[in-house]
Amino acid sequence: MNQAQTTLETSFTAIFGKKVSDLPVFDRIEIPLIQRDYAQGRQGELVARIRASFLDALCSAIVPSGQTIDLDFIYGDVEKGAFYPLDGQQRLTTLFLLHWYLACRAGVPVQKQPWAKLTYATRPSARDFCERLAEFQWSTNETGGETSLSDWLKDHHWFLYTWEHDPTIQSMLVMLDALHERFCGRNDLDYKAVWHRLTDTHQPVISFHLLPITANGLTDDLYIKMNSRGRPLTIFENFKAHFEDVLKAAQGEENAKSFANKVDVEWSDILWHYRGDDNLIDDVFMRYFRFITEVCAWRSGVSFDDKTLIDDLAEKVYREGNANAADSFKFLCQAFDTWHQKNIKGEWETLLTATPGETSAKLLLFNAFNGEDVSVDLFGACCRLYRQSTRWTLGHTLLLYAVLLNRIHNTANFPRQLRVLRNLIEASIGGEIRELNMPEFLADVKHVVIDGDLQGVTALNQAQIANENDKSTLLRRDLALEATVFQLEDHDLLRGCLTSFDLDPSTISNTFMKRADAFHALFGNEDCWKELTGALLAVGNYSRQKDRWTGFHFYHFGASGSKTPWRDLFKGNKEPRLAAALTSLLDQVAAAKNELSCLKAIQQDFLNRCETSREMNWRYYIVKYPAMREGASGRYIMSSSGYSICMLNNDSMRGYYRDPYLLAILRQSGIGEAVEDPLFSGYETVPRRMILKKSGIQIQCVDQGWQITAQPTDPAQKRAFDQVCSKHDIGESGLCIVPQNDSVDTKDRVVVGANVLRDFVGLGL
Q: Is 600 helix (H, G, I), strand (E, B) or coil?
A: helix
Q: Is 555 helix (H, G, I), strand (E, B) or coil?
A: strand
CB contact at 8 A, 368 and 354: yes
CB contact at 8 A, 760 and 697: yes
What is the C-alpha to C-alpha distance for residues 548 and 546, in angstroms, rounded to an integer? Answer: 7
Confidence of residue 19 (pLDDT cuts 50, 70, 90): low
pLDDT at 278 over 80: no
Confidence of residue 222 (pLDDT cuts 50, 70, 90): very low
Output the pLDDT for position 397.
Answer: 97
CB contact at 8 A, 649 and 657: yes
Neighbour order of strands in the sheet with 698-702 = 690-691, 698-702, 705-709, 735-737
What is the C-alpha to C-alpha distance for residues 7 and 757, in angstroms, rounded to an integer? Answer: 98
Output the pLDDT for position 226.
Answer: 43
What is the C-alpha to C-alpha distance for residues 223 and 201, in angstroms, rounded to an integer? Answer: 29
Output phi, psi for 203, to 5 deg: -130, 70
What is the C-alpha to C-alpha distance for residues 76 and 302, in angstroms, rounded to an integer? Answer: 48
pLDDT at 4 over 70: no
The alpha carbon dihedral of 304, 306, 312, 313 has a sign of positive
- pLDDT tens for residues 234-277? 567 677 877 888 898 888 888 888 998 888 889 989 998 898 77
**Degrees, nearest 5: CA angle 31-203-135:** 40
pLDDT at 5 over 90: no
- pLDDT tens for residues 642-659? 999 999 998 888 889 999
Q: Strand pairing partners for 705?
A: 702, 737
DSSP string, 258-284: HHHHHHHTHHHHHHGGG--TTS--HHH
pLDDT at 669 over 70: yes
Q: DSSP letter at 89? A: H
Number of separate helices (H) and strands (E) present in the chain: 30, 20
What is the C-alpha to C-alpha distance for residues 620 and 745, in angstroms, rounded to an integer? Answer: 10
- Residue 386 CB: number of other CB atoms within 10 A? 21
CB contact at 8 A, 371 and 365: no
Question: What is the average per-residue pLDDT within 296-300?
Answer: 95
Question: What is the average per-residue pLDDT within 750-762?
Answer: 96
What is the C-alpha to C-alpha distance for residues 456 and 450, in angstroms, rounded to an integer? Answer: 11
Q: For residue 591, give the H/E element and its range.
A: helix 576-591
Q: Is 74 helix (H, G, I), strand (E, B) or coil?
A: strand
CB contact at 8 A, 437 and 398: no
What is the C-alpha to C-alpha distance for residues 597 and 527, in angstroms, rounded to an integer? Answer: 12
Confidence of residue 1 (pLDDT cuts 50, 70, 90): very low
Output the pLDDT for position 97.
Answer: 92
- Residue 671 CB: number of other CB atoms within 10 A? 17
Output the pLDDT for position 60.
Answer: 86
Maximum separation of any 2 CA atoms in the chain, in Å: 117
The alpha carbon dihedral of 249, 253, 255, 260 has a sign of positive
CB contact at 8 A, 488 and 494: yes
CA neighbor of 487 nearest in space, from 449, 454, 448, 524 = 524
pLDDT at 227 over 50: no
Mean of all residue pLDDT scores within the chain = 88
Question: What is the average per-residue pLDDT within 384-407?
Answer: 95
pLDDT at 635 over 80: yes
Outline where 389-528 has alpha helix (H).
394-409, 414-428, 438-446, 462-477, 482-489, 512-523
CA 293 to chain centre: 20
Question: Between these two residues, 372 and 161, which has the higher pLDDT value?
Answer: 161
Output the pLDDT for position 157.
Answer: 87
CA 381 to chain centre: 16
Q: Domain residues of the chain, as ranges?
A: 8-229, 235-479, 512-653, 669-762
Q: Strand pairing partners for 135?
A: none
Enumerate long-range contacts of 573-579, CB under 8 Å, 24 or more apart: 573/463, 573/499, 574/463, 574/466, 574/467, 574/499, 574/500, 575/499, 575/500, 575/542, 575/544, 577/540, 577/541, 577/542, 577/543, 578/500, 578/542, 578/543, 578/544, 579/499, 579/500, 579/501, 579/502
Comparing 139-148, 300-309, 625-634, 662-671, the range with the smallest average pLDDT is: 139-148
Output the pLDDT for position 147.
Answer: 65
What is the C-alpha to C-alpha distance for residues 616 and 621, in angstroms, rounded to an integer? Answer: 7
Question: What is the average per-residue pLDDT within 582-596?
Answer: 95
pLDDT at 3 over 70: no
The alpha carbon dihedral of 152, 158, 164, 168 has a sign of negative
- pLDDT tens for residues 737-747? 999 999 999 99
- pLDDT tens for residues 80-119? 788 888 778 888 989 999 999 998 888 888 887 888 888 8
